[in-house]
Amino acid sequence: MELKHKKNSAVGEEIFFGKHPSGLDVFIIPKKGYSKSYAIFGTNYGSVDSDFIVPGEKDETHVPDGIAHYLEHKMFDQPDNSNVFDKFSRLGANANAFTSFNMTAYLFSATQNVKENLAVLLDYVQSPYFTDETVEKERGIIGQEIRMYDDSDSWKVFFNFLNCLYKNHPVKKEIAGTIDSISRITPELLYRCYGTFYNLSNMALVVAGDVEPEEIAGVIEAGIKKTEPFTEEIRRIYPEEPDETASNYAEQTMSVAMPMFMLGFKDTDTDCGDLLKKSIEVQILLKMLFGKSSRLYKQLYDGGLINATFAAEYTMQPDYAFTSVEGQSGDPKLVYDTVIKEINRVRSEGLCEEDYDRVKKVLWGTYIRSLNDVEDMASEFLRMHFMGVDYFDYCRAYKSVTFGDVKKRFENHFVPERSALSVIKPVERE
């Protein structure tokens, strides 16, 4: 595998990258003098990918909801019954894995034995082992996890919010699936999903830390098992999603001390081209509209309607995106009404260019600080890579953003008719 080299003089970072003959994309980010190294091995596959056509086939495959998460759990079972976490522990590493809407990733962080830990990571992720007995055993474990999520107020307020925003898109479905859906998962289905989405041409590996790129490349070369890359894309099938929301309000009663809320806006501009530039534009808007120095934040805080839990976030993928604003409040509906009123005021009076200039500088500082954390940087790099975005291209995208771009993004995204509110209310005491 030949490594290429790229240096970003604007931020003083460099990256070595290459494509293995198996199709695996490899990225090595040397961070001289850092004590901790981090590796994340991911597949472009998440909870939304339940309907697809395998390369080389014609018929559509449908699998139960939650299978990507189930597969992540089962990857830790080894044919020799060894414990992967014990291997990492003996080598002084902390290991973990996660499944999101669009990505499954396996990772470790370590201050020593980086090459040995990387060899373990490469080995177990390429060694699927599913039997009727082990799959059945996992059903109970994941069933308990699903019931735990059902009791999680932060989880329910989020997915109730998504079910308000989306009518058809599978992002509205819970990542772990349901008790019913996981009951239909079999070893055969797990192997089918593994064979499709864990083909190395659908995967990428990022290693960041005080490492020698050529040495890491050597470990990767030795650790890649024989596999043929796909010569065509996996066809992911998503239902058509209308611009309008499914609902504008959801309410649930749970054991919470204070009402919780999540409100936000559905983004319908998903075919915009430069996703990195779009993300920066929205991040600027979030700070201008909802940041602690904003007019809205001061109004809500001084009025006793929010506390320190108030926060705004933008979630983006090529086929869906949304802004979410969450917090605790004695009157979530009044918070929502105040937000919509402020959005309408800004739509009428316009954004403040001085605020834009100040916030944009703050955002650049946030990006620079993110490069100092090997875990955050590598994880974000991988997430962006699967969207076709180069996180090291941030400087170019950042410089291209203008006040006019941000104004246009505001008009397109923050549309009251495409907003929703999800509330978790406390149980009323008699």
Neighbours of 174 (CB within 10 A): 20
* CB half-sphere exposure, 418, CA atoms < 13 A: 21
**CB within 8 Å of 407: residues ≥ 6 apart:** 350, 351
HSE-up of 309 (CA within 13 Å, CB side)?
14
Tokens standing for 272?
């915009």
Contacts of 3 (CB under 8 A, 6+ apart): 16, 17, 18, 26, 28, 213, 214, 217
Active site residue 281: no
Cα gap 359→380, rounded to integer Å: 21
Active-site entry in 72, 138, 326, 342: 72
Which DSSP helix (H) or strand (E) runs through 96?
Answer: strand 93-99
Whether residue 69 contacts residue 47, with contact meaning beta carbons closer than 8 Å, is answered with: yes
Cβ neighbour number for residue 17 with a 10 Å cutoff: 19
The single residue listed with the structure tokens 């201008």 is: 288
User: Is 56 within 8 Å of 201 (Cβ atoms)?
Assistant: no
Distance, in Å, from the CA atom of 223 to the CA atom of 126, rounded to the nearest integer, reads: 9
The SS3 call for residue 23 is coil
Give me the sheet containing 235-236, strands edge to edge: 61-62, 51-53, 235-236
Among all residues, which ones are annotated catalytic?
72
